Amino acid sequence: MVYLGEHHWHGEEIADLIDRDLSADPDALLILGTNLKVKGPGELVKMFASTVKAKDGRVIYVNLSKSYQKWRETFDYWVEWRCDRWVRDLKMRTPLFHGGRGMATPTTDTTA
């Protein structure tokens, strides 16, 4: 457990992961289940959102929280839904998202 204002004992490793992810030129950011009131996660979202938007990507926020208004310029979409239910719905609608069970298989065009 890390308390508010304390440094994470794996902070350097986390920073390396963040740098690697940002350098991969992400074109989408999906934020689930946080109200973004804590400074650290909020700064992280702003950093990633800036990178995503620079690639003309989209930032999607899924949560029941009304903090969307404060972040209106950051988010392109706000899904006002419980995260677990939204993911369950997404998994039902998109078999490939589930990563295993019900996964679609690639098809081969034999007419070419």
CA angle 14, 47, 40 (to 5 degrees): 60
pTM: 0.73
According to CATH, what is the number of the domain 11-98?
3.40.50.1220
Per cent of the chain over pLDDT 70 is 82
Domain assignments of the chain as residue spans, ordered by start: 11-98
pLDDT exceeds cutoff 80 at 76: yes
